[in-house]
Amino acid sequence: VSHLHLPVQSGSDRILKLMKRQYSVADYESIVHRLRERRPDLSLSSDFIIGFPGETEEDFEATLSLIDRIGFDQSFSFIYSARPGTPAADLTDGITHAEKQRRLAIVQQRLRASAQQASRAMVGTEQRILVDGYARRNPNQLSGRTENNRVVNFDGPADLLQHFVDVHITEALPNSLRARLVANRANDFAMISEGSARVPSYT
């Protein structure tokens, strides 16, 4: 598997301290750098909290800068909301809801662009996927996931369900990839079963 979810929450050291996180932005980037040295194909996702109490425009820009530097493949972002009984609930929140929504929209657009860039880089490559169902928008197509957690839709027979197959990525869409079966491997796949698996040997 070449996918890792590594939450960072914010690209500002000041906000990370307010959140009581025990790491800095430099610490996070160092970890990512070491991981990518070992796995250049690593797909990375993260979490971002937008509009944490005290977040300034400078703090927000630092988060955008981190997103650009890391190049996340997928991420989750949401507006901060106070939870009674937590230390952050006692912090003064002077950011309007409208401003939080504005910042969230910018972050999500930046994250989508980063994810789309990563998807486009996969076009023309061969990927092994686990076929786990039918395409959401086209029930005549099969759907599966790559090792880096990308959704791939392609034409193929129903007996490929719950099998690993090799596909050639042909197109990157906003939320998925399109592909075609590798012709000489369409019938040579690994079957998932309890306690065992048949692994194909390609020649």
Q: What's residue 90's pLDDT? A: 79
Please state, rounded to an integer, the average pLDDT across all residues of the chain. Answer: 89
pLDDT in tens, 32-42: 999 999 998 88
Q: Are residues 74 and 138 in the same domain?
A: no
Q: Are residues 38 and 131 in the same domain?
A: no
* Residue that finishes a domain, picked among 73, 104, 120: 120
Instruction: Indicate whether 13 and 97 sit together in one domain.
Output: yes
Decide which of 67, 96, 120 is a domain's last residue.
120
Q: What is the pLDDT of residue 51?
A: 96
Residue 5: pLDDT over 50: yes
The values of phi and psi at residue 120, to 5°, are -60, -30
CA dist., res. 5 & res. 43, Å (int): 9
In this predicted model, what pLDDT tens digit does every residue of 123-159 receive, in sequence order? 999 999 999 999 999 999 999 999 888 999 999 999 9
63 and 114 in one domain? yes
What 3-state DSSP class applies to 19?
coil
Task: Based on the fold, state whether residues 88 and 18 are members of the same structural domain.
Answer: yes
Widest CA span in the chain = 65
How many domains is the chain built from? 2
Q: Is the same domain home to 130 and 102?
A: no
139 neighbors 113 (Cβ within 8 angstroms):
no
Q: For residue 42, is it within any domain?
A: yes
pLDDT band at 183 (very low <50, low <70, confident <90, very high): low
Residues 108 and 155 both lie in one domain:
no
Domain enclosing residue 15, as ranges: 3-120
Domain final residue pick, 120, 145, 163: 120
Contacts of 79 by beta carbon, 8 Å cutoff, 6+ apart: 49, 50, 51, 97, 100, 101, 104
Two structure tokens written together for 107? 């972050």
Q: What is the pLDDT of residue 189?
A: 54
Q: Are residues 113 and 72 part of one domain?
A: yes
Is residue 203 situated within a structural domain?
no
Q: Same domain, yes or no, for 41 and 134?
A: no
Confirm whether 31 is domain-assigned.
yes
- Domain of 32, CATH number, reads 3.30.750.200
Specify if 98 maps to a domain.
yes
pLDDT > 90? residue 172: yes
Amino acid at 144: G
Greater confidence (198 vs 87) lies with 87
Residues 106 and 145 in one domain: no
> Do residue 81 and residue 133 come from a single domain?
no
Average pLDDT over residues 117-122: 92
Give the CATH number, domain containing residue 166: 2.40.50.140
DSSP-derived pairing of the beta strands 163-172 and 3-5: unpaired
Neighbours of 95 (CB within 10 A): 19
- pLDDT tens digits, 60-118: 999 999 999 999 988 999 999 888 878 787 788 889 999 999 999 999 999 999 999 99
Residues 53, 114 within the same domain: yes
* H helix or E strand, kind and range, residue 156: none
